[in-house]
Every structure is written in structure tokens, then in C-alpha cells.
Structure 1
Amino acid sequence: MAENTPLLKVEHLCKEFPAESGVFAGRFAKKVSAVNDVSFEIMPGETLGLVGESGCGKSTTGRSIMRLTRPTSGKVYFEGRDVSKMNKRELKDLRRQMQFIFQDPYASLNPRMTIGEIISEPLQIHGDGRSASERNKYVRELLDIVGLNPEHINRYPHEFSGGQRQRIGIARAFALHPKLIICDEPVSALDVSIQAQVLNLLKELQKQFGTAYLFIAHDLSVVQHISDRVAVMYLGKIVELSDWKTLYAEPHHPYSQSLLSAAPIPDPDLMKSRRRIILAGDPPSPIDPPSGCRFHTRCPIAKEICGAEQPDFKEVEPGHFCACHFAAPYPIKESHIDL
């Protein structure tokens, strides 16, 4: 693959779910627009952070890319191949190169299997050709790499802490040496001290194996430590995308700015002087999203055009994209902030 060729390319991805079930889920029933016209690229070995509040469509985006749920429309290309047109055999081959780390380390591991069986399961499914003894040796090596005792290979998930279970999930994801791993909030269920350890482990493994990540999170401070670029999502749409340094230094979308104002800073004096931006109201329902810009009902700088016209997702600076009629560095001025 050429250096400038994306490993993953997502074009106009949409995913809708029926809002009703049973006899009421007919052709004209209301639908939940979980993901709406999402596009981005991930280069080999890169980490793209996908951040936004709960319910904005981050996890659905990740699952749609993996075809764990079928997209309503749009295209997903992995190494130039259209994932949406793959049959079962092709999808099985794809999943050797694309793996998933789930949010909940308690629910994502089979309690009836030993951790050795859990980590070796992908090898068996995809027929790696190793003998039982070779596979056992390889699983022990993986346990050592993720910081677990190889002698615990025959223990069950309930015998481990939350952080240790997530390390087991990471070992399982890396067993096939995939080119891309979708990390669906892999540290949100862990203590803060354990979060740092798991993030450092993911960075070390990325350096060792050259794996690319789509790192899904709602915590901007977590995303900052692991991402090369960051995409901010609101109500099913990406509203801003840039390299993390630019986004954190000069957010151009009001929603990005409000998220950054809530992120903690390890400097008490700076934290005291910073103005917190409190957004009005609650996020609108994805069943009936607002017209125009989806953020305009909560935006402190919204004008009449915001409710009438949907802003284009355009490049405001080299490599920096934003969907806002009034995109500018720190668009919410102090006069708009309710102190």
C-alpha cells in the first residue's frame, strides 16, 4: 500500500434504526438517525480519536465500519476494498485485519472460557496453522506483552480485575496482528490510574506492531494522549476534524469549544481563571433532529441561518475541517458565556 493511501476510508456513512418495533415498525414508521453523512480517513499506523457525548453515534459508527451492524447507506473502504459489498467469506478475511476492543471488560469476555481459550479463539476461527502447543506458547507471549502473568492462562475472567480484563481483551484483539483496531471507549469503565496504564499499553503496542486505531471516547483528555487527529461528533454528524494540537489550541466549532471548556487541566490557577461554557437544554432527539445545523438549538452564537441551512463540512485551514456558518478560532466569546 502506498504511503498516502488511506487504510480506512469512510464516505457518507448513515445508519438508521426503527424507532418502533413489532407491527408498528412499518415502511413509514419513524426512524432514529444514529449516524448521518459521516466521512473520514485513517492512514496506516495512525490514531483517529472520535469524541462526543453519549448517544451521538460514536459506537454505531465503529460497529457499522466492522459490519457488526449493516449501514443504511454510504461506503466503507478498507485497503481500497468496499466492505459494504463483502460476502461472509470476505468479511471473515477482513476481520483478520480489523479487530474490536469493547467498552465493557466485564461483558465482552465469556465467563465459561479460560483466558487462554479466549485469546486463542481468533486463532482457531481463522485457522492460523499453529499446533495446540505452539498456540499455547503464543498466548503466553501475548499475556506477557500486555502485562499479565502467563502462568494465569488457565484462570477465568471473574478472577481478574477490570483493568486486567481489559488487557485480556487487548491481547485477544492483537492475536491476529490486525492493521486496524476499533477501540470503543476501552478505558471509560476503568479507574483513572488504570486508564493511564491501558492507554500507555495501547501506544506501546501500536509502536511495536504499527497498528492503526479508531479510538472512540467521550473524554477529551483521554483522546488527547493517544490521538494523532480528532473528530468531534454531535447528534450523528462530525462537526470538526483536525490534528489534536490544532483542535485543542484553536477549536473552530462552538460545540468543540464547549467540550474543551469542561476538560480538566492539571493547573489549579489556570483552572480557576478559565470560563466554563454551559450549554442550554438537552441534546435533541435523533428521531426528530433540528433543521439546519443540528447544534443550533443549544448554540450560544446561533443566528437565523443556522436553523434554516445546514452548514457545509469544509476546510477552514489546511487539514482542519469544520461544519459551522461562523467557524473561527474560539467562536464563543466571553460575552456569550453565562458566568
Structure 2
Amino acid sequence: MADKQPLLQVEHLCKEFPVDSGVFASRMAKKVSAVDDVSFSIDVGETFGLVGESGCGKSTTGRCIMRLTAPTGGKVIFNGQDVAQLKKKDLKHARHDMQYIFQDPYASLNPRMTIGEIVSEPLVIHGEMGSNEERMDYVRKLLDIVGLNPEHINRYPHEFSGGQRQRVGIARAFALHPKLIICDEPVSALDVSIQAQVLNLLGELQKEYGTAYLFIAHDLSVVQHISDRVAVMYLGNLMEQSDWRTLYSEPYHPYTQALLSAVPIPNPDIQKSRERIILAGDPPSPIDPPTGCRFHTRCPIATAECSQKKPPMEEVAPGHFCACWHAEPFPIKGTSIKL
């Protein structure tokens, strides 16, 4: 029996941004390597968490998948089509099944449009439903599903709270019943109590519609509660990838271990065995990233090999992948580094 094809397959994705160095810049202009050789896949109905600190390239990865930002290299295979190679008309059809929930619930909604106009806009763009009355009836149902009052359909975004605005964004993303939704830190701008409500809503909608999520976040405790598999990103590279239970209980990469050492773990036995790992220095500049492993300048167990050769992403356990020359289960051997 042939293996089931993933809904989304990202292969060696790269994105570089040119750096404007001014009038007297040399011809050899520098570039910011935001995403460098990133590969992963997402199955139908699966939630794939992508975590890492600010500036590591998570959001750029999501935007490249939707082709809101054109990738520099690599492939994004969605429903058997390479999104990076699609013409304008074909890309529009692909986006019918691939939607985006933006990070900022304040900036992602047009202040001059009513909630009804915002949520129905995907229907208008893709020619769904014949009349405006049909679309508005459907929007009212969507608003009710996401926990908003359907009678507020003619209100404007400024009349809603942050949590309510994010629900509007979720309703807009689900309007076309897409197969994949890219959730770009959808709860980071919300209060903790509202975060739980939005996460529960996303889980309920996934069960009802079978939608797959790429869930981008920097909060590992949030990703833990919603993801089936998790990948950890650092300075444009993927460091580790596994199902969430394995990743949280037995991380192999020193960077993942450092991140998780600060996150409360439900299992008290695991939590007691962990010591807080403080990383030295700050993340390097993506304009001039380190050679070899990009984490080696802050890694407590780095050797000369780490600065010379980039480690490949290898399977260290069934379904568990790690890019490290010295990958070992938690805890790592040391917690200090001499630069």
C-alpha cells in the first residue's frame, strides 16, 4: 500500500532579504538569511507547531508557504502543487484551501470595513454564494460558531476587544472551509484567559472541519496544548522535530533543552530532574550568521567540529529528528561556554 501523501510538504525552503547599505554600498550587497534550508510536512487534520525565539524566521516561513512573501529557494508542495511556481490564477485557487490567521488582531482587520464585510471578503474574492444576502446569512452563522453575537455584523473592528477581533480573524479564515490554516502567533497579543478561549475554539473547529494547522508561536506551553508534532527553529534553521510528547519529555538538541528548562512540565518527575539552563550571549545577526551549526556560539557543549560543519537533520529515535553533532537526551553535560 502506497504511503499517504502529506497535505503540505516544505522542502529546503530559503528566504533572503537584501540589506540596503546606503548610497556608497559596495556591489556585493549583504543579505539577511531569514529562512535557510527548512523542511517539514503536515498531514491532513494535523497540527504542526513551529516554535523559536523572536526573529528566528517562523513568521517568514509561514508567509513563504502562503506566498505572501516569495521564497528565494526550495519547494512548497500543497495538495500536490508547488505553490512557489503557481501562476496568479492558480495561486488564487490554491489559497482557497489555505488561509492565514495573523498575529496582530488590531492591524489585521480593515478599520473601514464592517465585520460582515471582513468575514465575507474571502467569499466575494472566490465567487462563493450568489447574493449578498446569502453571504451575510452565512457570516452570521460563522460569527455564532466563533462565539460572537451575529447581531454585531454591522459593527466596526474598533468596537471589539482584542479577543473578539481575533475571533473575527478566525471566522474569516474558516469562511471557505480551508484544508490548512497558518496560525501566526494567534494568541500572543491576548490576555492569558482569552488565550485559552481562542485555543479551545481552534481545537473545536479543527474537530468539526478536519482542518490542518501550522501553529507558529514562541510560547512553548501554548504549543504543547494544541500540537501533534513540534519543530524548534533557531536563526533560520530547524534544530529538532518530533511529536510533542517526545520533544517535551526527552529533547535531544541543547537549544531545545535550554528552552524547555524554563517551561513548567506537567510530569513532576521530569520537572524535578531539570535544571535551568542559561544560554550565553545573544543570538547572532542573521546578516552574518555563524559558520557550521548556527547555535554553536551559544551552545554549552559545542566543539570545533560544530563551527566548521553544519549538522544534518538526522533521526535520533523513531520519528524524532535532530540537527546536532552531539545530540543526547536531556540533561546535557554542561551549562557554561567560553567564547
Give the TM-score of the pair, scaled to structure 1: 0.95
Q: CA deviation at 1:309?
A: 1.2
- Counterpart of 1:336 in structure 2: which amino acid? T
Change in 2 beyond 3 A, CA 1:247/1:286: same
Where do 1:152-171 residues align within 5 Å? 152-171=152-171
Whether 1:328 and 2:318 are equivalent positions in the alignment is no
Q: CA deviation at 1:30?
A: 0.4
Cα distance between partner residues in 2 of 1:243 and 1:270: 17
RMSD: 1.9
Q: CA deviation at 1:273?
A: 7.4
Q: CA deviation at 1:265?
A: 4.6
Cα distance between partner residues in 1 of 2:62 and 2:22: 27
Match of 1:231 in 2: 231
Match of 2:250 in 1: 250
1:199-225 Cα deviation digits (max 9, x unpaired): 000000000000000000000000000
Match of 2:240 in 1: 240
Q: CA deviation at 1:28?
A: 1.8
Change in 2 beyond 3 A, CA 1:268/1:41: closer
Cα distance between partner residues in 1 of 2:285 and 2:81: 34
Cα distance between partner residues in 2 of 1:27 and 1:6: 42
Match of 2:73 in 1: 73
Where do 1:235-314 residues align within 5 Å? 235-265=235-265, 274-314=274-314
Q: Which ranges of 4 or more aligned residues in structure 1 deviate by more than 6 Å?
A: 266-273
Structure 1 spans left out of the alignment, 5+ residues: none
Match of 2:60 in 1: 60
- Counterpart of 2:201 in structure 1: which amino acid? L
Counterpart secondary structure, 1:181: strand
Q: Judge conservation of contact 1:19–1:25 (CA < 8 Å) in 2.
A: no
Q: Judge conservation of contact 1:179–1:212 (CA < 8 Å) in 2.
A: yes
Q: Judge conservation of contact 1:253–1:331 (CA < 8 Å) in 2.
A: no
Cα distance between partner residues in 2 of 1:133 and 1:26: 59
Where do 1:111-150 residues align within 5 Å? 111-150=111-150
1:113-156 Cα deviation digits (max 9, x unpaired): 11000000110011003311111110000000000000111111
Q: Judge conservation of contact 2:118–2:172 (CA < 8 Å) in 1.
A: yes
Cα distance between partner residues in 2 of 1:313 and 1:268: 30
Match of 1:319 in 2: 319
Q: Judge conservation of contact 1:17–1:34 (CA < 8 Å) in 2.
A: yes
Match of 1:86 in 2: 86
1:13-64 Cα deviation digits (max 9, x unpaired): 0000011166567752000000000000000000000000000000000000
Q: CA deviation at 1:263?
A: 1.4
Whether 1:178 and 2:188 are equivalent positions in the alignment is no
Change in 2 beyond 3 A, CA 1:6/1:301: same
Cα distance between partner residues in 2 of 1:192 and 1:186: 12
Change in 2 beyond 3 A, CA 1:75/1:270: closer
Change in 2 beyond 3 A, CA 1:242/1:277: same
Give the TM-score of the pair, scaled to structure 2: 0.95
Q: Judge conservation of contact 1:163–1:190 (CA < 8 Å) in 2.
A: yes
Q: Judge conservation of contact 1:18–1:25 (CA < 8 Å) in 2.
A: no
Counterpart secondary structure, 1:336: coil
Q: Judge conservation of contact 1:115–1:154 (CA < 8 Å) in 2.
A: yes
Where do 1:11-30 residues align within 5 Å? 11-20=11-20, 23=23, 28-30=28-30
Cα distance between partner residues in 1 of 2:9 and 2:199: 25
Structure 2 spans left out of the alignment, 5+ residues: none
Match of 2:190 in 1: 190
